[in-house]
Amino acid sequence: MPILSASRRVLRYRIARALLIIFAIWNLAEIHLIQHRIHEADHAIPRHRPQKQERIYIASINWNNELVLRSHWIKALTQLVMRLGPENVFISIYESGSYDNTKGALRELDWELERMRVPRNITLSPVTHEDELAAPARGEGWIHTSNGKKQLRRVPYLARIRNLSLLPLRDLARQGITFDKVLFLNDVVFTPNDVLELLYTNNGEYGAACSLDFSKPPNYYDTFALRDSEGHEPIMQTWPYFSSAVSRHAVKKLSPVPVTSCWNGMVAMPASPFIDSPPLRFRGIPDSLASYHLEGSECCLIHTDNPLSVEMGVYLNPLVRVGYSGAAYTAMHPVMNWLSAKAILQGLWVNRLRRLGVTSWLKEEVVRRRLNAWRALSTRNEERGEICIINEMQILHRYGWAHV
């Protein structure tokens, strides 16, 4: 009997050791495969631009961005214009009542673009957040909060500003001057090669293509707008981000990632929907729905409203990574800085464990119940951007915005 017990212990030990070896080999093989793809991406021949020279409408909204404008953004933009050709671009910038010297930085950019003979429209608005808040609370975009006050919602305000940056696009179209793509640029650190790579995402065929953005690496920044191929929020802010198998497998291959919505610093979209009749416009969810303590990003809703999203697809390009500071940008380049062997192993297993949880489902269920309660009030209450809606209420205040 003791001999039999000893043999069983030896057998269990050997099985456990074999399983441990298989587990280690499996992890090492997966890490090796991903790092091989990283090596290929880091040493790839620069992509060719499309044979047809595209015309690009570059749109940007600015508020208190002087530091990054002077340190990186203006230089990168002027370099990009030279790469694309001044005759192939139009730059539309709308600055909205900054408290720093953003206006001064943009005046200097305007002078430089004049010297380069770049067609443009740079609007420097004197209207500050304080002025917006002091205006009579009329029309859409205002909401009653728990303190009994009627306050200005952040998202409809941002949607209005973004639409103002697109006004010259429609004016030019009426004059017969059209563009192939609209490039939306946040206040990020980028290079011309980043933009060219973004424009060529999926061989230039997409309803939208987005970069990845970083403020405090390795966490990505824009959690408000990013949704995976199944319409869910990412389950983690670090690689590989997604619960959807389609999105997750694509990001592991460093190939264009199918998503339903993204923004993340830089976005390229076909220009045609913005000059259609009626034109595609940025918007917020209705005030009556927002009163249920719900909100949806204008940068997410634009994709659910865009007819080309389903027809051509929306993609996140993991090869294009931008930062909200020079340090953040440097931390994510080259790819190996972003995805070390340790980061890959940790990311794979954190992602697997989180997919076993129900936290995301519970968050979505809270939103779904409130949305259904709103829909039950009227047959006219409908919101096609359900994937964008989260359990938040955001208002504008003098120095930015706040949750209430």
pLDDT single digits (tens) 217-252: 999 999 999 999 999 999 999 999 999 999 999 999
Mean pLDDT over each residue of the chain, to the nearest integer: 92
Question: What's the pLDDT at 15?
Answer: 75
What are the structural domain ranges in the chain? Answer: 56-403
Least confident of 298-307, 310-319, 358-367: 358-367
Question: What's the pLDDT at 34?
Answer: 84
The better pLDDT of the pair 254, 11 is held by 254
SS3 54: coil
Backbone torsions φ then ψ of 65, nearest 5 degrees: -110, 15
- C-alpha distances out from residue 300 to 106, 154, 183, 245, Å: 28, 14, 16, 21
Own/partner pairs for 198-201, CB < 8 Å, 24+ apart?
A: 198/266, 198/268, 198/317, 198/320, 199/49, 199/50, 199/54, 199/56, 199/268, 200/47, 200/48, 200/49, 200/50, 201/256, 201/268, 201/315, 201/317, 201/320
Fold of 56-403: Spore Coat Polysaccharide Biosynthesis Protein SpsA; Chain A (3.90.550)
DSSP label of 404: -
What is the Cα–Cα distance from 122 to 109, expressed in whole angstroms? 9
Amino acid 83 reads: R
Q: What token pair was written down for 140?
A: 């859409």
Contact 280, 269 (CB under 8 A): no
pLDDT at 205 over 60: yes
Q: What token pair was written down for 168?
A: 């010259």
Helix (H) or strand (E) holding 169: helix 154-174
Question: What's the pLDDT at 67?
Answer: 97
Query: How does residue 50 score in pLDDT terms, banded at 50, 70 and 90?
Result: low
pTM for this entry:
0.92
What is the Cα–Cα distance from 16 to 370, expressed in whole angstroms? 50
What is the Cα–Cα distance from 194 to 101, expressed in whole angstroms? 27
